[in-house]
Each structure stands twice: as C-alpha cells, then as structure tokens.
Structure 1
Amino acid sequence: MQVRACGLPLLKSSFDWLVTPWNAVHEIMASDGDHFGLEADLDIAANSMRCRSYGVLYPHEFERDSDNVPVLTPGAMENCRSKLIYKHRKMVSTINEKQGSDILFVRYGGLAQECRAWPYMDDFGKCTEEDVNELLHSLKALFPQNRVKLLFVWADPFVKISIDSSKLHRDIFSRPLPVGLNATWEGDTTQWSDAFGQAFSQWGMDSVLSYQRALNVA
C-alpha cells in the first residue's frame, strides 16, 4: 500500500496476502511457492490459519464463522493454494522478463517469530545485520540478471531493532519508521516517502522514476 502511495510501481505478489516470518521469505522464494496451501492449522493466538510448510499466516484465504474464527475446508485450501502459487509465479516471471531492471524488495518488520497480522509488536528474536545481508544475497542469487536492492524498515518504538548500517551490503538501506500511538496498520506515508528518498539517495539514484519495478515483500 505505501509503495504505491509513495509513487512507486508495485509488482503484486503472494506476499500481499500473507503475514510472513523472516525465514519464510527465503523458503518461499527458493521453493517457487510450491508448498503453499498443502496443510494448515488454526493459530489460536493469531486467530488465523497458519501454513505448516512455511509458517506464514493466511489471514485472507478462509471464510469465518459467527465467532470470527476461520474455517478450514478442502475447497478453501485448494483455492488458497492455486491463488498463492499463481500470484507468486506471476511475480517471478514478470521479474525474469525484465532482465537488467532494478528490483526493490521491501521488508517491513523483523523476524516476526510471533507471527501476527499487526506490525506494531516486538519480536521474540532479534534481527541482526547477518540476517539482513543473507536475505539480500538470497534474493540476488534468485535474480542474478537484475539489480536487486533491499529496503528494510520497522515500526519504532514498538519493534526494537538495532542495526549497524556500516555492516550492511551497499544495496541495503535500513532505518526505523517512527509511529504514533494512534497509528493504523497502514502506517505514515510521509515516513515511508522519506525512507524511500533516503534509500535512493544512498544508491545514487535521481528519483523514484529511476526504478522500473518495485516489489513489496513485507
């Protein structure tokens, strides 16, 4: 949502429909989404179905009963699988068709080990510079024909992450995004716009128009 609000073209993907732990990003990309929608269990604390394979939440894929609890049916699982595989592979094929393009991946939030459909809660584990560098390297390995960069941001002060930017790859820009006490899940467009602008400045780019595609993986 904020990618488009800040004037960047957004390449739609399966990640738009998921709540994704950090490690699941690489697992989904490396397996081409092949394990979507195979098996899921109700995560009572999150009140959402959780994928057994990837650990992602499926907050939008299942109808809910009168108590607002998602209901797992074979038909809903089949639809979940076909929808998410299609969206993931459409994203990948679009990137591969644009050889030589700049691709910006956006990660909003940290490890998300306690996976919830709410960005303003702290992690149980702490994200490190090594985690961020490894994510970028895995994405670059998947798309070697493109110029892949990573914007890593998190909600301050709710998510407590301490990153030393000097230890990050030059194609990574990271910073906290200040969030007010009455913030909605959509976030603050001004803060997002500042983050994009600072990232482009670090990478020596004139403007958002320099990007041919932007991809949100948060």
Structure 2
Amino acid sequence: MLHPPLEFSRIVSLGAMCQVAHQIQRRYGPTPFNPLDWVGTSFSALSKLFADDGTHLAAVDVEVLDEAAVNLSYGLNYYHEFPRNPDRVPVITETGLTVCRRKMRRKHLHFVKRIADNERTLFVRLLGHHDRMDTDYKTPDPRPLCYAEINELVRAIEKRFPGLPFHLALVRIPQLTKLRGDERLDNRVIFHTIPPFQHWKGDDGVWDQVFDLYRIKSVELVQPDVTKEYLHP
C-alpha cells in the first residue's frame, strides 16, 4: 500500500462533481479559481483538458442533454452556469453562452498560471463517471476504470506542467466504481475508499479522514468573489 506524502503547497479538485470543491473549501477555506469547481466532469475529459490546454472550455458547443447543459467537446456538465425553467431544464441563450465562455476561459488561464509555479500539488478526484458525467451521482459505473486511463491522466498533467511535483488522490466508492489493473500504476497515484453518500455534499467526517493524511502547508491568495463562482443553484 502506498503511503501518501504528508505535505503539499496546494490541493486542487479534479471533480467529478461539486462535492470535491465543497469539501476542499469546507476544510481549507476558499480556494483560487479552478475551471473544474462546480462543474460535472467525466474522467475521460480530464486528459483532454490538460492535453489541449482547455481550448474548448470557451467553445460554443453547449447543448441540453438529459436536463443538463453539456459542453460537447469535453462532456462537461455546466450544472450551475445557466438559469433553469420551472421544470429544472437549463435555458441556454447567446448572452448566457457569452458569460459562460468568458468565465471558463478566465478561470482556466488563472488555473494554468497558478499551477505553473511548480509548487507541490495534490490533485483530488472523486472517481466515477468515466465516459460521461451522469447527473445521478448514485449510478454505478457501467465498466471498470482501467489503470491505463489513470496513467494517461498522470502523463497529461506531467506533459502540460513539466517539472511539477504532484500526486493524484483518487477517492473511490467500491459499490459504484470498479478498477481494472491492466498495467502497472504510476506511483504518484493514491487510492482512498469511502462509503456511499446520501447528499451531494458528501460526509464531512469521511472526507476529513482522507484529508487528515495530508498537510497543506500554505494558503493561496483568493479572489474576493471566489465564493460566488457558481451562478445558479
């Protein structure tokens, strides 16, 4: 079993859902802009985002699929970016798209600048939703997540931020997400197991058990409006 390093300069959410950003901010306070905070993210989207430097975060290809506003290039669920009608269906307008594009681009540029300082970084991902972000967070994944896919993400981060010392903490609910060890796993990957949760925020005590294994040594400067980063409930 891998023993996680104790100290990092920052902790960064890689989704899959708002729970991770919520739990990080609950434990450590408001955090700097991150394009994946308050956005639903499939696992397969992560490698694409790092590989093309978030080019399509500001794309216009956003459609309503299954009552969610989805960025078709990455499969991101923009859950909080657009207002909803009485049936909870997102209402997408040209004005809303313009606001969303500007916001996502701004957040990504800030994220890249922040990570490029080569400080020790802990990326945290709640596993699940390999190929498509499902708005029902209690749905079991239709297939196992392969070690090869995890290694691909590690390589994508390494290529985009050469020299960055980082680890990838993957939090897994065994009842929902299975793993397939099809190749040797990168030694920067650390698994944590948690029980199923009933509320989107997750269980504070369970997440604290994960966070207790790490120490974040510095507090990053935060924009004054960071707590308003999601626009619509």
TM-score bin (small chain): 0.7 to 0.9
Query: d(CA) in 2 for partners of 1:24 and 1:112?
Result: 8
1:41 aligned partner, one-letter code: E
SS at match of 2:145: coil
1:145, 1:9 → 2: CA distance?
26
Pick from 25, 28, 32 the counterpart of residue 4 of structure 1: 25
Match of 1:194 in 2: 209
- Residue in 2 aligned with 1:175? 192
Q: What is the 5 A alignment of 1:107-146?
A: 107-146=125-164
Shift of 1:63: 1.2
2:111 is equivalent to residue 91 of structure 1: yes
Aligned residue number for residue 62 of structure 2: 40
Are the counterparts in 1 of residues 34 and 108 from structure 2 also a CA contact under 8 Å? yes
Instruction: Give the TM-score normalised by structure 2.
Output: 0.75
Q: Determine the C-alpha separation between the residues in 1 that align with 2:30 and 2:84.
A: 33
User: C-alpha displacement at 1:7, in angstroms?
Assistant: 3.6
| Unaligned residue ranges in structure 2 (runs of 5+) | 1-21, 221-233
Q: Hey, what's the Cα distance between the residues in 2 that align with 1:212 and 1:137?
A: 27
* Shift in alpha-carbon separation, 1:194–1:163, aligned structure 2, 3 A: farther
Does the C-alpha gap of structure 1 residues 81 and 32 become closer, same or farther in structure 2, counting only changes over 3 Å? same
Q: Find the counterpart in structure 2 of residue 160 from structure 1.
A: 177
Q: Which residue of 2 aligns with 1:50?
A: 70
Q: Which of the residues 84, 87, 105 maps onto 2:123?
A: 105
Q: Are the counterparts in 2 of residues 152 and 173 from structure 1 also a CA contact under 8 Å?
A: yes
Q: Quick one: distance in 2 between partners of 1:34 and 1:194?
A: 36
For 1:90, give the aligned amino acid: H
Q: Structure 1 unaligned runs (5+)? A: 201-207, 214-218
Q: Which residue pairs with 1:73 in the alignment?
A: 93
Superposed CA offset, 1:31-66 (max 9, x none): 22221241112112xx11111211111111111123
Contact 1:152 1:172 in 2 (8 A): yes
Identity %: 25
- Report the CA distance shift for 1:179/1:128 in structure 2 as closer, same or farther (over 3 A): same
Specify the SS of the correspondent of 1:14.
coil
Is this contact kept in 1: 2:47–2:152, CA < 8 A? no
Q: Quick one: distance in 2 between partners of 1:196 and 1:104?
A: 11
The RMSD of aligned alpha carbons is 2.3
**Contact persistence 1:128–1:163 (CA under 8 A):** yes
- Cα distance change on mapping 1:150 and 1:10 into 2, 3 Å: farther
